[in-house]
Amino acid sequence: MRYFESKEKTAELLRLAVPLMAGQTAGFHPISYTVWYEHLAKINPALQGALEARLADKTPLSEQETYELFSKYIVTRDADITERLEAQLMQVLANVRESAVKLGHQAAQYNDSLTRHEERLQQQIDVPSLGELIAALVGETTRMRSSAQTLQEEMGATTAEVGRLREQLEKAQGQALVDALTELHNRRAFEQALAQMLTSAAESASACSLLMVDIDNFKRVNDTYGHVFGDKVIRYVAQRISLSIKGRDVAARYGGEEFAILLPETTVQGALVLAEQIRASVARGKIHRGGATEQIAGVTVSIGVAESLPADSVEDLTRRADEALYRSKEAGRNRVMSAVSARPQ
């Protein structure tokens, strides 16, 4: 979604949004601000209605409810934009096809007419009849040229329109699948990629793996240093993950402080190696807070690893990776654990 409010208008929206956000239990993060921004700007009627109905009970919005509002009324709205642009593009192509078919019929009729005129010329014909034939031929040729010129003009306009729609479509598709804070894939994109990965793995009888990554003690980080620094921690971990993966691997922000990493054609042994690299990379880093002189260390992640089984659904593989992540937390955090189930040999 691209916003078109002026700088002065957005400053006023920020001033109004901050006290509203302060009255909720959700943090001061981009997801929460986007919900309140679109509500106050009155650019998302569906969100506005749902939010006003929810606030009627006078209880603060929770973190989970904020993410649900964002997912239902903002992410889904952007997906609807994509579908609408696709429909517009299909209509443009249908119009071009209709024009081309129409011209094709006219060309066929023109060809038939030329054939008839040629047959007449092969017979004895008087001067007046010859004049009539020439006049008819000129008229039909003029109409054909006009139709061809009209189609050419339509094709030029259509080319420009298709280019514009394609640009908007690519932008909308990208925005609908990207997490605003980390610029990783969002949960919607993750679920699509995971479904595709499992289908490919089943067709090729190969293994694939899923990593679920969670920032340890993240609530304590927020409570100690504030939500602005909390967002910085999330971006830092996202960066560590991005630098660790390669090729067809897919990293996504699953929600809050949790991430998911898809590893096509990777066994649990290979996935454990990568998971340990990510864990160590995060643990040894330091994050600047405020001025460049203050650094915060001790940010760690716990990781759960699961390898796909032949009949796995998206829910099956995600559940096993989540269970492995939970065991990592239970075992003391800052560690990697794999799911109990193993792929049959």
Residues 144 and 277 in one domain: no
Last residue of a domain, one of 149, 176, 203: 176
The pLDDT tens digits for 197-228 are 999 888 888 889 999 999 999 988 888 888 88
Residues 195 and 142 in one domain: no
Residues 133 and 269 in one domain: no
Residues 122 and 193 in one domain: no
Residues 168 and 227 in one domain: no
CA 117 to chain centre: 60
Q: 276: domain range?
A: 187-338
The amino acid at residue 74 is I
Residues 6+ apart with CB under 8 A from 309: 316, 317, 341, 343, 344
DSSP tag of 73 = I
Report if pTM > 0.75: no
Report the number of distinct structural domains present in the chain. Answer: 2
Whole-angstrom Cα distance, residue 86 to residue 245? 32
Q: What are phi and psi of 109, to 5 degrees?
A: -65, -40
User: Roughly how many angstroms between the first and final C-alpha of the chain, as a whole number?
Assistant: 47
Q: Are 209 and 338 in contact (CB under 8 A)?
A: no
pLDDT band for position 117 (cuts 50, 70, 90) = low
Whole-angstrom Cα distance, residue 239 to residue 202? 31
Residues 95 and 194 in one domain: no
The pLDDT tens digits for 269-295 are 999 999 999 999 999 988 887 665 567
For the ranges 12-21, 80-89, 266-275, the one whose mean pLDDT is highest: 266-275
Q: How many CA atoms lie within 13 A of 96 on its CB side?
A: 17
Q: What is the mean pLDDT of the chain?
A: 80
pLDDT band for position 233 (cuts 50, 70, 90) = very high
Whole-angstrom Cα distance, residue 325 to residue 335? 9
Q: Which residues are catalytic?
A: 257
The pLDDT tens digits for 282-336 are 999 888 876 655 677 789 999 999 999 988 898 999 999 999 999 999 999 999 9
What are the E-state strand segments in the chain?
209-215, 250-255, 258-263, 287-288, 295-296, 301-307, 336-338
**What pLDDT sits at residue 71?**
76
Whole-angstrom Cα distance, residue 119 to residue 172? 58
Residues 199 and 296 in one domain: yes
Q: Are 66 and 32 in contact (CB under 8 A)?
A: yes
Domain at 275, CATH number: 3.30.70.270
Task: Give the total residue count for the chain.
Answer: 345
**What pLDDT sits at residue 70?**
84
The pLDDT tens digits for 21-35 are 898 988 888 888 888
Domain at 124, CATH number: 1.10.287
Burial class of residue 317, CB neighbours in 10 A (0-12, 13-18, 19+): buried
Domain assignment present for residue 259? The answer is: yes
Residues 271 and 309 in one domain: yes
Last residue of a domain, one of 176, 208, 242: 176
Domain assignment present for residue 152? The answer is: yes
Whole-angstrom Cα distance, residue 85 to residue 168? 8
**What pLDDT sits at residue 343?**
43
Percent of the chain with pLDDT over 70: 69
Last residue of a domain, one of 176, 206, 224: 176
Q: What are phi and psi of 258, to 5 degrees?
A: -110, 140
Residues 213 and 324 in one domain: yes
Domain assignment present for residue 226? The answer is: yes
Q: Are 244 and 206 in contact (CB under 8 A)?
A: no
Helix H or strand E segment including 98: helix 76-121
Residue 344 has pLDDT above 50, yes or no: no
Domain assignment present for residue 10? The answer is: no
Domain assignment present for residue 51? The answer is: no
Residues 206 and 155 in one domain: no
